[in-house]
Structure 1
Amino acid sequence: MASIFTKIINREIPADIVYETEDIIAFNDINPQAKYHILVVPKKEISTINDIQKEDTDLIGKIYLAIKEITKELGIDKTGYRVITNCNEDGGQEVFHIHFHILGGEKIGPMRSK
């Protein structure tokens, strides 16, 4: 069954798309956790970070270059931002199509308070 991200990629459901190439799509999170909360998603369906294969090396590099470009466009490349990837249920992954969260535009607190 196609993930919600595949449905966005295929334009079956709407999203506020901020960046797109042949391999990658990025859009605003519908439940933002910061001033800017963007999801960067490969168009290739890969369930978890554990499922990345050697042939995906270029794709993963393109994702990080997209993150660099998006954060520069937002003007947060110099002030700072956080990139998060969750893996599997204990890691907080809710959509099983790998994706990278960009959080920024304000001071981001600690990852986890003890």
Structure 2
Amino acid sequence: MTDCLFCKIVAKEIPATVVHETARTLAFRDVNPQAPTHVLVIPKGHYENAAVLAEADDGLADDVLKAADAVAVQEGVAEAGYRVVFNTGPQAGQTVFHVHAHVLGGRDLHWPPG
């Protein structure tokens, strides 16, 4: 998509601090972190939200989760614990309509998140 912020990051048209990359995923630091570790993991192809990604049924959702775990290990938060969050739809707080997993860690994460 030509007007999608995350597609532009994948295309290297907009800079991002990339921390992990595979053939099908890209992970980069959130510009407005909500925890000491806050990394976004996206598929390189455009999928609007988690529901659309799940329907793709080509193993890509699994790749995104594997990348999220790899980021948690790399960032040193895997052992203590981390959260993976997908916001799906405006009422859930999704503001960029390219599916993305938030990997959050590095502090106690209370429930409910609010």
Shift of 1:37: 0.3
1:47 corresponds in structure 2 to 48
Residue identity matched to 1:33: Q
1:75 corresponds in structure 2 to 76
Give the alignment's Cα RMSD to 1 decimal: 1.4
Deviations 1:20-64 (A, max 9, x none): 111000000000000000000001100112223544341111111
Closer/same/farther in 2, CA of residues 42 and 108 from structure 1, 3 Å limit: same
Report the secondary structure of 2:102's partner residue: strand
Report the secondary structure of 1:106's partner residue: coil
List, as ranges, runs of 4+ consecutive aligned residues in structure 1 with deviation greater than 4 Å.
Answer: none
Report the secondary structure of 2:28's partner residue: strand
Percent of aligned pairs sharing the same letter: 36
Residue identity matched to 1:64: L
Stretch moving more, 4-13 or 57-66:
57-66
CA distance in 2, matches of 1:82, 1:20: 19
Residue identity matched to 2:106: G
Unaligned runs of 5+ residues in structure 1 are: none
Count of residues in Structure 1 that have an aligned counterpart in Structure 2: 113
Unaligned runs of 5+ residues in structure 2 are: none
After TM superposition, the score normalised by the length of structure 2 is 0.91
Residue identity matched to 1:76: V
1:10 corresponds in structure 2 to 11
**Residue pairs, 1:1-114, within 5 angstroms:** 1-52=2-53, 54-112=55-113
